[in-house]
Amino acid sequence: MKIVAGCDVGSLTTKAVLMENKRIKKSAVIPSGPKPAVSATLVMEQLFADTGLSQKDVAFCVGTGYGREKIPFIDKAVSEVSCHGKGAQWLVPSARTIIDIGGQDCKVVKLDDNGKLVKFVTNDKCASGTGRFLDVMAKVMNIDVSELGKLSAKSMAPVTFASICTVWAQADVIKYINSRRPAEDICAGINTAMANRVAMLANTVKVEKDLCMTGGVAKNEGVVKALSKILGCKIKRIKRTDPQLAGAVGAALYAMEQV
């Protein structure tokens, strides 16, 4: 059986998967550097080091993400919207609406029963509603972004923000820290503010069941829970693999169709 690859160069992380026989053979996530070509090469080198394979063993490679056109070794480039849709539906076959929240943008993608793209909307103009908002707030809180979800689960009285603008919300977080509000209440407020912003975007297209989340922010259970509550719709978790890999998985699935 031929081995194929998907490589997703995002604004913050670069992801890659090797697939064989419709199964993920190996995956890797590394931080993105300033040059997409270098990040893509490094993530593939990690996969090859882990598997003992090399580029010549890859029958077809699809690139995606904002840096896709700059990846030197790919056979084809496919948009992030298409790859996230494809990857998410392979991981959660019942998914019809996919909310992808990465470091620099947020996308809501709607698919039909055959996986065909019906509609999509994107927010890539403003940091609020993207992973960057959470990263900035976690830094002000002096915690790792991966702790926001767990901490917020303990909250009994989440704080509120006067504005969802990242700059103003940051000032509010500092104000709450100084007034000794418990960290879990501030974290819950941050996750809810994020979810409110994403829900505004999601409501511009009618969310249809099943709803699934991809991208790094899907690992923040606080945002997932808050978004599910605001939209009044259960969010199906991706359990088979890391949701951050969905775009790279979709790219590898497109590659598989070519061989």
Task: Report the distance separating Cα 42 and Cα 31, nearest Å.
Answer: 10
Q: How far is the CB of 182 from ligand ADP (least distance, A)?
A: 20
Query: Which C-beta is closer to ligand ADP: that of 57 or that of 221?
Result: 221
Query: Which C-beta is closer to ligand ADP: that of 53 or that of 148?
Result: 148
Question: Beta strand 211-214 with 235-236: parallel, antiparallel or unpaired?
Answer: parallel
Query: Which C-beta is closer to ligand ADP: that of 53 or that of 173?
Result: 173
Q: Residue 186 corresponds to which tokens in the numbers above?
A: 């501030």
Q: How far is the CB of 33 from ligand ADP (least distance, A)?
A: 12
User: What does the binding site for ligand ADP look like in residue numbers (CB under 6 A)?
Assistant: 10-13, 32, 102-104, 131-132, 134-135, 145-146, 149, 215-217, 219-220, 244
Query: Which C-beta is closer to ligand ADP: that of 27 or that of 244?
Result: 244
Within 10 A of 59 (CB to CB), how many other CB atoms are there? Answer: 16
Query: Which C-beta is closer to ligand ADP: that of 13 or that of 152?
Result: 13
Helices 221-231 and 183-202: crossing angle in degrees, nearest 10, is 50
Q: How far is the CB of 147 from ligand ADP (least distance, A)?
A: 8
Task: Report the distance separating Cα 187 and Cα 60, nearest Å.
Answer: 43
- Asked if omega into 210 is within 30° of 0 (cis), the reply is yes
Q: How far is the CB of 1 from ligand ADP (least distance, A)?
A: 29
Task: Report the distance separating Cα 40 and Cα 53, nearest Å.
Answer: 16
Q: How far is the CB of 100 from ligand ADP (least distance, A)?
A: 7
Q: How far is the CB of 130 from ligand ADP (least distance, A)?
A: 7
Query: Which C-beta is closer to ligand ADP: that of 218 or that of 255?
Result: 218
